[in-house]
Structure 1
Amino acid sequence: MQTRGEQMLALRRSRMAAAPAFLRGGFRPFFFGGAAYAVIALALWLLALAGGIQLPSAFEPLAWHRHEMLFGFVGAIVAGFLLTAIPNWTGRLPIAGPPLAALFGLWVIARMAVLFSASFGLGVAALFDVGFYLVLAALGAREVLAAKSRNVPVVGLVLLFGIANGLDYAGAAGLLTDAALASRAGITLVVIMISLIGGRIVPSFTRNWLAKRGVKQGLPGQPNRFDLATIGVTAVALLGWTLFPSGLPTGAILVVAAALQAVRLARWKGYRTLADSLVLILHVGYAWVPIGLALLGASILGAAFPTSAAIHALTAGAMATMILAVMTRATLGHTGRELQASPATAFLYMLVTLGAVLRVAAPMGLLDYTVGMEFAAVAWAGAFVIFLFAYGPILFRPRLGEQL
């Protein structure tokens, strides 16, 4: 007689076998949906900004833009990464088939509920939107706790991200004196995720790539106490910014965190990976973390750097670049394809980097603001459009060697 654990394993295997390719791994629907929504949400925001449309949301247009790019777009990629990483962390089969379809459907419904919240109300939107993160965190906790994995803190960050999402609804309803508190908290949590997870994968992939090419000296090492200290200082600095965004001590510790992150990045020796775009882009994406922290700290301390430039260094820069770096690499690797950047992949990396540079430079007065913002939007969105065309078909097809 089968135990309950054996029955669950058999059920998951049957779901994997019966599911269409698009539902055989969390990265498939959430990477595709997240990339598509990045383009859609940006287009809607630009149309609203130009006065071409009126968004049917209970959120103010700028608040809707912040909410959906952070808790909608970025949240989808977080979900795709978590659901794909958990089987590697735990050795358990991935969530697939109808349960994955239901979770993805919940995310889609949440996006529609937020967009049309002027009709349905903020309460309905919050029910689906915050509920998505609670379900995601519960699924993640079940998996990592069952396997006694060390990655419980990552699931905890996802739960806190959902709570920050809920706070954003409180801000939109006028229940918070600081309406931007939730978005700062969300940015803080994602940057900590990048610092924690990026601190594992960037040196690891760099070390593996160099080792395959016969390099034996000076390979990036495993995370050590310096890395932990850097993450800790970064977390404290960003928590200070979340709660006290204009405090001088906050600015000072942000600058310290930026310096530590810069040293951390330099220790991974990304300059040695110029020949491989798939590895190099991880270093480029992570470089936006110390840049963003430094700009943010300097702006608080009185430097002539607008806060929006610093925030977009962390969002359009670090988050978007690391998202594309992870999406492209994970899609290739988890579908059995060679880890090699195609010309389209290299081009989308160039576009997202150009978009981030222009988005940061424009408000700093380094170029004409209107021209810079327009070209930044086109370049940034273009990167995700290319991802959809180059990788979308792969996400809908079975793994190489796998049956339909």
Structure 2
Amino acid sequence: MGTRTGSHQLSSGLMVSGRPERRPKERPPRMASRPVIYTGGDVKTSGELGRMYGVDISAGENPPPQIPPRPPGAAARSGPKFPNSGPVSKLSSSSSFSGPVTPIQPTGLITSDQQDTPGSNRRSGQLDAAAVAPTPTSFKKANYASAVTSLGGQDKLGFRTSPVAMWVSLVVAVMSLMVVAFLIAAVKKAVILVVAVAALVPAVGILVWNFTYKNKGVLGFLRKYPDTELRNAVDGQYVKVTGVVTCGSLPLETSYQRVPRCVYVSSELLEYRGCGGEKANAKHRLFSWGCRDSEIYVADFYISDNKSGERAIVKTGYGAKVSPFVKQTVVVNAKEDKEGVSPNFQQWLSSRGLSSDNRLIHLKEGYIREGYTVSVLGVVRRHNNMFMIVPPTEPVSTGFRWRCCLFPTYIDGLILINNENDDIIPV
């Protein structure tokens, strides 16, 4: 038995067999998010923003509650502790670190400082002079971690002579004296004594010249040492890089002047010893200045090569051997009658267990601040495009310098030289 198939008419009037197709009902488009009501900056009608800062939204037209200011650090001591996971309190976590909470403005704008008085002319970005000027209240001795190197008792320069050469020189000197004494006794003429003295004076003069001019001669040699382009340096090469320095993860600060963001700081207390005076140290001689207290610190820092523009990290921390050549300036000149002794200097001395009673004292400080131009001599370590300058394993020799009549001087560790011009370059 056959089935009957119906027919229907199209919109054009044509009759076709079969049932008409069912069209899906058109549904209204769904919105991905609900419409947001314009609040006009009112925190009370801002929904989640108001609840985030503890504003009671159900209070109607009542003004938002004012949170009383607390002293700095009170929130950090008595506030709730926030674990790594779990629910967070309604108060913002920044309140436990930034001191007193600032009330929310009627416009809903959150500021980082309290409102100024109506008659205030303070502008954005300007700070009070009292807030900028450093007012140190404590001069305690810095106690840095192992990442900072202390250079208190390191000898950076020295002459190195082999034991064989020392014994040979001693034997030759003794034999020369014996020959001169024999000739004087046998010939009995003053001419021999004059010749011996004429030969001895230049030798003694050269020795004295080397000991007195040693530091200046080495510094002049290092300044004339040619700079190396860091980009073309190979791994293990001894280089000299000159450029602007920037602080690493641990910036330093001078102990007395409180100069911030330094990569190298030094403080040296010198005392003059007259006739019958006390010694500042075991090697203090009469009528000379002796070091009574010394604090020298250096940490890892970065340097940007002036020639190639490459940036390298200088490894001077964690007990590295460093030979600094940094100029110091006198910041305190205390006389025996205590003239020129300020309360800050008295506090600096007392914090280190020192005194200035009837003593002629100088306090010198030197530092390399961020933005200074310095020169670094060391061994480069290269990995891909990363550069690192480390101290050499063996002391470096300057060699004989015949023009200056200077013996070879050995410098131990990485060499750090500050520029004669102390202009700061913004970094």
- Is the structural similarity TM-score above 0.5? no
Structure number with bigger Rg: 2
**Structure with the bigger percentage of strand:** 2
TM-score, normalised on structure 1? 0.20
